[in-house]
A and B are shown apart, each in its own frame.
Chain A
Amino acid sequence: MTCAESQNLFSEYLEGQITGTVQQGLVEHLEACPACAQKLKLMRIMRVRLSKLDRKHLPDTFSFEMRRALLAEMNRENIWLNRLRALLSPRPQTVWSAAVGTAFAAVCFAVLWLTFPPGGQSGWRSDSVTEVDAAQHDQSVRYVLEHLPFDGEPIESTVKDTARVMPVPPSQAREVVQPVSATF
């Protein structure tokens, strides 16, 4: 057995983990090699010394800090746990709020769907808007024309007049508004 081989076995030998021929070989080497024998003695002493090293101590504040950290952790955990519990076994109040919320979301979705449908055209009837617009224009034109300043001469309603009060091209306006003859 070489010195290196014997030294590889020191720890196992000291802890009684080698037996038989291996142990015999090591003992024979130690008897013949004072350097290895001394190293082994030193290792034995070193082990005892290491086991007796002064114990280090945590400061007294550690327990307080630890408790605070654990309570904070527990609170954080409880928040998630309560959310999970509420989901799994909901109270009537929770069910109502969930139902109202869902209904509201559905209405919002429907309105958005009709206003901006996927096809691109509005879901609302477009002609109804035009009709209302035309009727309003019609009314305002009548009002303006009826209240034009009267300086004694009859006013012949012209295409030009209509164009002045209606911000639409006369060709279109004529379809909607019948020129009013201002003969008073």
Chain B
Amino acid sequence: MSELLFVEQFTRQSEMVTDEDLLAQSLDGSVNAFEVIVNRYKDRLFNFVVRFVGDQETAEDIVQETFLRAYRNRDTFQAVAKFSTWIYTIAGNLAKSELRRRKRWRFLSLGSKDEHGNTFELPDVASNPDRDAETLLAEAKIEDAIARLPDHYREAIILRDIEGLDYDEISTIVGVPLGTVKSRINRGRLRLQEDLGDLACALWKQDEDETTAVRSNP
């Protein structure tokens, strides 16, 4: 049986084990226990980081580095905060460092790339058979509008509206007071709507039609 299959089985057996317990097991040097944590969080962290930094390869590196740092510092983790908050905080800080590094680089190369330039790629319908072309195009435009948000709004919107974390967790992860988090989320959403303009209205109409159709054909 290969190591990864073992980890998969271990993951299934450990579904009831908390992150904190797994972390404690990994203190004895058990990589398998830590890999269960990796499997639990890798996709969630990737979804956060890839939208925050905007490119897949960098996001992969950041997610890997996040887990390595968590592994290295697993003995210093204090069970005061939730493990998920801790790991998101590490990922968020690494992503912010990357964005700062890019800004410095852009500043040095005299702003060759417009930060608010339209960069969304046309969606690949073939690889998403369960989503129609219209939905994919709308999603691509929404993703692009998210990418154009200022960093601090983008981070809050991803954590709240895409990852579904609660306000207190976001406050700890981002390292700002709760009031600031609420205000960033609200402003971010309003900005997103303004940026999407006509598309937002079209989505609204589409959703209204769907609701009407469901009501008339229960």
Which residues of A line the B interface, CB within 8 A? 7-12, 38-39, 41-43, 45-51, 53-59, 62-67, 69-71, 73-74, 77-78
Add 9 more A-B contacts to A11-B185, A50-B142, A70-B38 (CB < 8 A).
A7-B190, A11-B182, A42-B201, A42-B203, A49-B138, A54-B131, A62-B64, A70-B31, A70-B68
Cα-based distance from A70 to B72 in the complex (angstroms):
9
Which residues of B line the A interface, CB within 8 A? 3-4, 7, 29, 31, 34-35, 38-39, 42-43, 46-47, 50-51, 56, 60, 63-64, 67-68, 71-72, 128, 131, 136, 138-139, 142-143, 157, 161-162, 164, 182-183, 185-186, 189-190, 192-193, 196, 200-201, 203-204, 207
Q: Say whether B164 contacts A11, CB under 8 Å.
A: no
Residues of chain A contacted by B68 (CB below 8 angstroms): 69-70, 73
**Which residue in chain A gives the minimum CB-CB distance to B136?**
A54
CB contacts between A and B, total, < 8 Å: 116
Residues of chain A contacted by B200 (CB below 8 angstroms): 42, 45-46
Q: Say whether A10 contacts B189, CB under 8 Å.
A: yes
**Which residue in chain B gives the minimum CB-CB distance to A64?**
B4
Picked from B50, B56, B204, the residue with its CB within 8 Å of the CB of A42 is B204
Picked from A12, A53, A77, A78, the residue with its CB within 8 Å of the CB of B182 is A12
Q: Say whether A46 contacts B189, CB under 8 Å.
A: yes
Q: A46-B193, A56-B46, A74-B29 are in contact. Are A51 and B164 (CB under 8 A)?
A: yes
Specify the main secondary structure of chain A where it touches its partner: helix
Residues of chain A contacted by B183 (CB below 8 angstroms): 8
**Which residue in chain A gives the minimum CB-CB distance to B193?**
A42
**Which residue in chain A gives the minimum CB-CB distance to B142?**
A49
Residues of chain B contacted by A56 (CB below 8 angstroms): 43, 46-47, 50-51, 56
Cα-based distance from A45 to B138 in the complex (angstroms):
13
17 A-B contacts, Cβ less than 8 Å apart? Answer: A8-B186, A10-B186, A10-B190, A11-B182, A39-B193, A43-B193, A45-B207, A47-B189, A49-B142, A50-B162, A51-B162, A54-B136, A56-B43, A62-B63, A70-B67, A70-B68, A70-B71
